[in-house]
Structure 1
Amino acid sequence: MRDCILHNPRCSKSRETVKLLQERGIELPVIEYLQTPPTKAELAEICKLLDVKPLQLVRTKEALFAELGLSKDNGFSDAQWLAVLAEHPKLLERPIVIYKGRAALGRPPEKVLDLL
């Protein structure tokens, strides 16, 4: 996956991460993932870069999670969680920065500095 920031402009952590990178002279393409959601394949690649299971990228405290009747203990496979994230990008943890073949979740925003 190419260098970018998966960003939600309404999220303070996402905005802080973009600002943090800009202050260090790192200008990456910003993808507003709610308008341009990542595909299942892209999400799988992101999980691989982050070395996490898809469930670890799911915002389980988001109201939509409960509205959809989802549960962390529902026995979904990784492929099923990837499908949920692809269909409901609002459930994706953010921001995610991909830089030079590595990735970091900006929670807290300073975690992305490990990529520099």
Structure 2
Amino acid sequence: MMIQIYHNPRCGKSRNCLAFMDDNNLNYEIIKYLETPPTEEELKVLLEKLNLTPLQIIRQKEKIWIENYKNKSLSDEELIKILVAHPILIERPIVISENKAIIGREFDKLESFITNKS
């Protein structure tokens, strides 16, 4: 089973997630989603694996969000297009294993997720 991680090297939580994986000798593939943003279809599949809505994975404190989208009534389709256009708005790290995924910001959730997958 290959674990994939949507990773932003500038994010401390994302770097901590990789360190957790390394400390536990887990194999993983890094997806630098800022360099290779997901397509709309890939994002829909990812949201399904996360069992979350587009709004739930948006970093709502980002300047782009505040200045352009905050307090607007947007559909899920519109939000997906925004995430594709501005991948910096995607919460990170996202850890994917087979048909499930989590936002791996907390070690206890990450450990539970990995334990249940191996």
Calculate the TM-score normalised by the size of structure 2. Answer: 0.88
Q: Could you say which residue in structure 1 is the equivalent of 2:88?
A: 90
In the alignment, structure 2 segments of 5+ residues that lack a partner are none
C-alpha distance 11-109 of structure 1, shift in aligned 2 (>3 A): farther
Asked whether the equivalents of residues 13 and 107 of structure 1 are also in contact (C-alpha less than 8 Å), the reply is yes
Q: Could you say which residue in structure 2 is the equivalent of 1:10?
A: 10
Query: CA RMSD, aligned part only?
Result: 1.4
Deviation of the 1:62 alpha carbon: 0.7
Count, aligned residues: 113
Q: Could you say which residue in structure 2 is the equivalent of 1:53?
A: 53
| Residues 37-73 of structure 1: per-residue CA shift (max 9 Å, x gap) | 1111111111111111001111110111123x202x4
Deviation of the 1:21 alpha carbon: 1.1
Bigger shift: 101-110 or 26-35? 101-110
Q: Could you say which residue in structure 2 is the equivalent of 1:75?
A: 73
Asked whether the equivalents of residues 8 and 14 of structure 1 are also in contact (C-alpha less than 8 Å), the reply is yes
| Aligned amino acid, residue 66 of structure 1 | I
Identity over aligned residues, as a percent? 37
Bigger shift: 17-26 or 81-90? 17-26
Calculate the TM-score normalised by the size of structure 1. Answer: 0.90
In the alignment, structure 1 segments of 5+ residues that lack a partner are none
* Alpha-carbon distance in 2 for matches of 1:104, 1:22: 18
| Aligned amino acid, residue 30 of structure 1 | I
* Alpha-carbon distance in 2 for matches of 1:35, 1:109: 26
